[in-house]
Amino acid sequence: MSKSKPPPSPAPRSETVRQTLLEELRRGAATAWELSARVGLRERDVTPHLEHLARSLRARGERLSIAPARCLRCGYAFDERRSLAKPSRCPACRGERIEAPRFRVDAGEG
Protein backbone atom coordinates (compact mmCIF):
# COMPACT_ATOMS: atom_id res chain seq x y z
CA MET A 1 0.00 0.00 0.00
CA SER A 2 1.25 3.44 -0.85
CA LYS A 3 0.76 6.41 1.37
CA SER A 4 -0.66 9.49 -0.26
CA LYS A 5 1.40 12.60 0.08
CA PRO A 6 -0.10 15.58 1.88
CA PRO A 7 -1.03 18.46 -0.42
CA PRO A 8 1.77 20.98 -0.89
CA SER A 9 1.51 23.94 1.43
CA PRO A 10 1.24 27.38 -0.17
CA ALA A 11 4.30 29.58 -0.24
CA PRO A 12 4.56 31.79 2.84
CA ARG A 13 3.25 35.31 2.31
CA SER A 14 4.38 38.43 4.08
CA GLU A 15 1.03 40.10 3.33
CA THR A 16 -2.51 38.91 2.74
CA VAL A 17 -3.89 38.12 -0.70
CA ARG A 18 -6.08 41.23 -0.60
CA GLN A 19 -3.17 43.45 0.37
CA THR A 20 -1.20 42.05 -2.55
CA LEU A 21 -4.16 42.58 -4.91
CA LEU A 22 -4.54 46.15 -3.68
CA GLU A 23 -0.86 46.82 -4.29
CA GLU A 24 -1.13 45.44 -7.84
CA LEU A 25 -4.27 47.49 -8.57
CA ARG A 26 -2.55 50.66 -7.37
CA ARG A 27 0.21 50.01 -9.93
CA GLY A 28 -2.35 50.15 -12.75
CA ALA A 29 -5.42 48.61 -14.32
CA ALA A 30 -5.50 44.83 -14.71
CA THR A 31 -7.87 42.01 -15.61
CA ALA A 32 -8.69 39.18 -13.21
CA TRP A 33 -6.46 36.90 -15.30
CA GLU A 34 -3.50 39.30 -15.02
CA LEU A 35 -4.06 39.67 -11.28
CA SER A 36 -4.26 35.91 -10.82
CA ALA A 37 -0.88 35.49 -12.51
CA ARG A 38 0.74 38.25 -10.43
CA VAL A 39 -0.68 37.13 -7.09
CA GLY A 40 -0.58 33.36 -7.59
CA LEU A 41 -4.30 32.58 -7.40
CA ARG A 42 -6.69 30.87 -9.78
CA GLU A 43 -8.56 33.39 -11.92
CA ARG A 44 -11.91 32.31 -10.51
CA ASP A 45 -10.64 32.97 -6.95
CA VAL A 46 -9.74 36.59 -7.71
CA THR A 47 -13.29 37.97 -8.10
CA PRO A 48 -14.50 37.21 -4.53
CA HIS A 49 -11.41 39.00 -3.22
CA LEU A 50 -12.12 41.96 -5.52
CA GLU A 51 -15.72 42.17 -4.26
CA HIS A 52 -14.50 42.31 -0.67
CA LEU A 53 -11.76 44.76 -1.59
CA ALA A 54 -14.34 47.08 -3.18
CA ARG A 55 -16.24 47.24 0.13
CA SER A 56 -13.05 47.86 2.10
CA LEU A 57 -11.95 50.63 -0.25
CA ARG A 58 -15.28 52.46 0.10
CA ALA A 59 -14.74 52.59 3.86
CA ARG A 60 -11.36 54.29 3.24
CA GLY A 61 -12.75 56.82 0.77
CA GLU A 62 -11.33 55.03 -2.27
CA ARG A 63 -13.09 53.00 -4.93
CA LEU A 64 -12.56 50.04 -7.22
CA SER A 65 -13.13 51.29 -10.77
CA ILE A 66 -14.19 48.79 -13.40
CA ALA A 67 -13.79 49.23 -17.15
CA PRO A 68 -16.61 47.00 -18.40
CA ALA A 69 -16.17 43.85 -20.44
CA ARG A 70 -16.69 44.32 -24.18
CA CYS A 71 -17.62 42.00 -27.03
CA LEU A 72 -14.80 41.88 -29.58
CA ARG A 73 -17.22 40.83 -32.32
CA CYS A 74 -19.89 43.56 -32.18
CA GLY A 75 -18.52 46.05 -29.62
CA TYR A 76 -21.30 45.56 -27.06
CA ALA A 77 -20.23 46.95 -23.67
CA PHE A 78 -21.41 45.21 -20.51
CA ASP A 79 -21.97 48.54 -18.71
CA GLU A 80 -24.85 47.37 -16.51
CA ARG A 81 -23.24 44.10 -15.42
CA ARG A 82 -22.96 43.70 -11.63
CA SER A 83 -20.79 40.57 -11.58
CA LEU A 84 -17.05 41.15 -11.68
CA ALA A 85 -16.42 37.91 -13.58
CA LYS A 86 -15.89 37.90 -17.35
CA PRO A 87 -19.16 37.14 -19.18
CA SER A 88 -19.18 34.00 -21.29
CA ARG A 89 -21.32 35.22 -24.18
CA CYS A 90 -22.55 38.49 -25.71
CA PRO A 91 -26.32 39.05 -25.37
CA ALA A 92 -26.39 41.08 -28.60
CA CYS A 93 -24.58 38.82 -31.10
CA ARG A 94 -24.05 35.63 -29.02
CA GLY A 95 -20.31 35.93 -29.68
CA GLU A 96 -17.88 34.37 -27.23
CA ARG A 97 -14.84 36.60 -27.87
CA ILE A 98 -15.19 38.83 -24.84
CA GLU A 99 -12.58 41.29 -23.60
CA ALA A 100 -12.38 40.91 -19.81
CA PRO A 101 -13.22 43.80 -17.47
CA ARG A 102 -10.26 45.79 -16.15
CA PHE A 103 -9.98 46.88 -12.52
CA ARG A 104 -8.07 49.69 -10.83
CA VAL A 105 -8.14 51.67 -7.58
CA ASP A 106 -9.17 55.33 -7.67
CA ALA A 107 -8.36 57.70 -4.83
CA GLY A 108 -11.79 58.86 -3.73
CA GLU A 109 -15.28 59.53 -4.95
CA GLY A 110 -14.36 62.87 -6.52
Q: What is the pLDDT of residues 43-81, one digit of tens each?
A: 999 999 999 999 999 999 999 999 999 999 999 999 998
Mean pLDDT in residue range 31-42: 93
Q: Which pLDDT does position 5 carry in this prediction?
A: 60
Report the mean per-residue pLDDT for the chain.
87
Q: Which pLDDT does position 82 carry in this prediction?
A: 87
Distance CA 56, CA 82 (A): 17
pLDDT tops 70 at residue 14: no
pLDDT tops 70 at residue 7: no
Asked whether residue 10 is domain-assigned, the answer is: no
Asked whether residue 91 is domain-assigned, the answer is: yes
- Is 106:62 a contact under the CB 8 Å cutoff? yes
- Is 91:80 a contact under the CB 8 Å cutoff? no
Q: How many domains does the chain have?
A: 1
Asked whether residue 6 is domain-assigned, the answer is: no
Distance CA 110, CA 108 (A): 6
pTM of the model as a whole: 0.77
The parent domain of residue 79 ranges over: 17-106
Pure H helices in 28-99: 32-39, 43-59
Q: Which pLDDT does position 19 carry in this prediction?
A: 93
Asked whether residue 12 is domain-assigned, the answer is: no
Asked whether residue 98 is domain-assigned, the answer is: yes
Asked whether residue 96 is domain-assigned, the answer is: yes
Q: Is the dihedral of CA 37, 39, 45, 49 positive or negative?
A: negative
Q: Which pLDDT does position 12 carry in this prediction?
A: 54
Asked whether residue 1 is domain-assigned, the answer is: no
Asked whether residue 51 is domain-assigned, the answer is: yes
